[in-house]
Amino acid sequence: MAQANQRKSIFVTGAASGIGAATAKHFADKGWFVGLYDIDEAGLSGIAQDIGAQNCICGHLDVRDRTQWASAMEGFSQATAGQMHVLFNNAGIGRHGWFEDIAPEESDAIIDINVKGVINGVYAALPLLKPTKGARIVNVASTAGFAGAPQLAVYVASKFAVRGLTEALELELEPLDVKVTSLAPWFVDTPILDMGQTKNANHKMSDNLEESGVEIYPVSLAAQGAWDAATGTKTHYGVGKLSNQTRFLSRYFPGFMKRRTRKSMPPRDA
What is the set of active-site residues?
155
Residue 38 contacts by C-beta under 8 Å, 6 or more apart in sequence? 13, 14, 15, 16, 17, 20, 44, 60, 61, 91
3-state secondary structure of 111: helix
Q: Where are the beta strands (DSSP E) in 76-134?
A: 86-89
For residues 168 and 116, the answer to whether their CB atoms sit within 8 Å is no
CA distance 259 to 10: 41
Residue 62 contacts by C-beta under 8 Å, 6 or more apart in sequence? 39, 68
CA distance 211 to 226: 29
